[in-house]
Structure 1
Amino acid sequence: MSSIQRVLLNPSLGEALTRQPRQHTSCLPPANETKLHPSSSADENASLMFVGNATTILEWEGVRLMTDPNFLHAGDHVHLGPGVTSVRLKNPAIDLHDLPRIDAVLLSHYHEDHFDRDVEASLRRSLPIISTPHAKAHLSSKQEGEAFTAVYDLNIYQSLMLDIKPNPSSSSQMREFAAIKVTAMPGKHVPPGILSTVNDFIEAVPPVNGWMLELGYLTSHLAPDDAFKCGYRIYISGDTLMIDELKCIPERYGDKNIDLMLIHLGGTTIPGPNMPLLMVTMDAFQGLQLLQLVNPDITIPIHYDDYDVFRSPLRDFKQAS
């Protein structure tokens, strides 16, 4: 019997991403720059598009997962907490309303630079969203017609299986069924100690999850989750600092390869760029520590240079690593 929650994704339904779609688009636009890994492989079956900030779109086996949707433009402001605002410095690679079908959203935390107000107002209410209990409480408790109806919350180390329904037009005999196992990983947006205790009380900075995504297959949609065979593993750090809890990653996955890491950087400082008193996301130095700890095959830095509260640019991480 399955021990984790199962959610069925059916891409063939072709449901629009937004409540009032402006146009029908079936594919993502071509990227400004494309890199292949492994560079010599001819059988790639997945792609990852970087949109900006922490927004990416993973496409595999007919489904698209979007992380931390933020589509504000340069000059737009976000509210990040009591007395804390930030200005976006760059435009996203694509506009929200120009996106094709998205099958699910992975939301690391309920913060405007990861889930902006236009995104919140525009997304289809039945769109599956996987996030924190804090985010679910906000997204599911709105008035009738405004509440999101398919929000799944995961506490640290809890997992959820996204079963992918095969395309009914496929004539091939299915022997394996694609699925994505999502596991919530530790993350802390505020340094441990008195500041964290105060933040827990006043809820100025929301709790955050990282994610471990395992792309793989089951022998049937009815197969128990322990029959799942992972073929590719992606770790997404979320907006965390380098904390002791992250040491669980090599402890839990020491005998399992981590193929790709998406690492949130930026060295975000609050209350703002003119008064950088507290760092709440990893800078280049902490990012290098996490890179050495996790030891993935590939690392893709995200969440950098997009907002004026980011004090650690991408070039610092490149130089450090």
Structure 2
Amino acid sequence: MNRRDFMRSGLGGIAAAATIAHSVNAANATAGTDTPALEISWLGAATMLIAFDGFTILTDPIFGEGKETYFMADPNAMFDLKTGPTARYHARTTVFPGIDLSSIDLMMLSHLHEDHFDQKAEATLPKTLPTIVPSADAAKLASKGFSNQTPLDWGDSKSITTPNGKITLTAIPAHHSVNPQVNAMLGKGNGYWLRFESGNWQKDVYWTGDTFATDTVMNAVRNIGRPDIVIPHMGAVGTTGPLGLISMGAEQVLDLSAKLDHPNILPIHHSTLPLYLEPVSRLIEQADFARNRIDLIAEGSTIRYS
């Protein structure tokens, strides 16, 4: 079975308010300041709008809603690994906040599983939209008609000049499982290191993609430096199926944070879909509030880092 098609083919309250970052409405996020800033809007699942110096990046778009949000195999269901799971429609339990497609300058994809690039996004987005894609997914994305792509393999970088600064994007290894055989089945994806610069101002963001803190991943990250912000994919997906854990839970996120010297944690890839088995409240419950800052925002909200 083709590993990239494995997933598609047959196959309460939160206490500790001090750890919750202030979030603002997206419409007011830039009001009243000329200071360089990075603004991140979370639109649910792994979908974000990352805005810096007039340039906006869309990540892993999920635009569907309702009971038939996307069509994909269910990694949480039991199945025979030799034959693969049965694909079905999956629900979204939240309302998609909406998006202004004209505001997007670049799309970044961690990988092409349908819970990261759903059928509605595929049908809605302009096929000429500039797109950063893992090299392993370049041919598949091209087969969907997307013609303006820049494939990045692990370690590859792309720089973008903005009016007052620069954005540098570097592909980081992403291991969908700590089990090498399962990891191979699920295909090669990317995390990304995003560096935003304006004069002497700089912010470093590590967007993990679907990964765990394996030695390969950690060596790649440490070769670049310490991020100011880590954006982990959570949900503890797969724990009830034969693949085992294929996205981080709270324990793995906090372990990653410790290995990175405790940057701000902006958790995504939780709550939106029933696919996610672990509630994000577990992260708050297990955090060491003296060391971990959890920047928890609601879907449709924007956080500003200046």
Give the TM-score range, shorter chain.
0.7 to 0.9
Take 2:262 and 2:150, find their aligned partners in 1: how far apart are those partners?
27
How far off is 1:313 after superposition?
A: 1.2
Amino acid at match of 1:190: S
Share of identical aligned residues, percent? 25
Q: Deviations over 1:8-67 (max 9, x none)?
A: xxxxxxxxxxxxxxxxxxxxxx7389899xxxx983533111110111101111111111
Take 1:31 and 1:84, find their aligned partners in 2: how far apart are those partners?
37
Which one scores higher on RCO, CA 8 angstroms, separation ≥ 6? 2
Q: How many residues align?
A: 251
Match of 2:86 among 74, 83, 88: 83
Matched, 1:245 2:210: no
Which residue is 1:304 aligned to?
Answer: 270
Match of 1:136 among 135, 138, 158: 138
Take 1:269 and 1:43, find their aligned partners in 2: how far apart are those partners?
42
User: Matched residue of 1:119: which SS?
Assistant: helix
Match of 2:257 among 270, 281, 291: 291
Amino acid at match of 1:72: G
Which residue is 1:70 aligned to?
Answer: 62
- Counterparts of 1:246-285 in structure 2, within 5 Å, are 246-249=217-220, 251-254=222-225, 257-269=226-238, 275=241, 278-285=244-251
Which residue is 1:124 aligned to?
Answer: 126
Take 2:108 and 2:26, find their aligned partners in 1: how far apart are those partners?
24
Indicate conservation of the 8 Å contact 1:268/1:282, yes or no.
Answer: yes
Indicate conservation of the 8 Å contact 1:77/1:85, yes or no.
Answer: no
Structure that is richer in strand per residue: 1
User: Matched residue of 2:194: which SS?
Assistant: strand
Calculate the TM-score normalised by the size of structure 2.
0.73
Indicate conservation of the 8 Å contact 1:268/1:281, yes or no.
Answer: yes
Calculate the TM-score normalised by the size of structure 1.
0.70
Matched, 1:47 2:34: no
Indicate conservation of the 8 Å contact 2:191/2:210, yes or no.
Answer: yes
Matched, 1:31 2:20: no
Q: Deviations over 1:101-126 (max 9, x none)?
A: 20001100011111111111121121
Indicate conservation of the 8 Å contact 1:86/1:308, yes or no.
Answer: no
How far off is 1:94 after superposition?
A: 2.0
Which ranges in structure 1 are unaligned for 5 or more consecutive residues?
Answer: 1-29, 167-176, 200-204, 219-228
Matched, 1:180 2:167: yes
C-alpha change, 1:246 and 1:32, in structure 2 (3 Å) is: same
Take 1:33 and 1:296, find their aligned partners in 2: how far apart are those partners?
30
User: Matched residue of 1:196: which SS?
Assistant: helix
C-alpha change, 1:195 and 1:250, in structure 2 (3 Å) is: closer
- Counterparts of 1:119-268 in structure 2, within 5 Å, are 119-142=121-144, 147-164=145-162, 166=163, 177-197=164-184, 199=185, 205-217=186-198, 231-249=202-220, 251-254=222-225, 257-268=226-237
Take 2:243 and 2:262, find their aligned partners in 1: how far apart are those partners?
32
User: Matched residue of 1:239: which SS?
Assistant: coil
How far off is 1:296 after superposition?
A: 4.7
How far off is 1:195 after superposition?
A: 3.1
Take 2:263 and 2:42, find their aligned partners in 1: how far apart are those partners?
18
User: Matched residue of 2:218: which SS?
Assistant: helix
Take 1:216 and 1:123, find their aligned partners in 2: how far apart are those partners?
28
**Between Structure 1 and Structure 2, whose CA radius of gyration is higher?**
1
User: Matched residue of 1:189: which SS?
Assistant: coil
Amino acid at match of 1:45: A
User: Matched residue of 2:189: which SS?
Assistant: coil
Take 2:279 and 2:209, find their aligned partners in 1: how far apart are those partners?
17
Q: Deviations over 1:123-157 (max 9, x none)?
A: 11211110111221112134xxxx21211111111
Amino acid at match of 1:295: D
Indicate conservation of the 8 Å contact 1:249/1:294, yes or no.
Answer: no
Take 2:58 and 2:245, find their aligned partners in 1: how far apart are those partners?
26
Take 1:78 and 1:278, find their aligned partners in 2: how far apart are those partners?
22
User: Matched residue of 1:194: which SS?
Assistant: helix
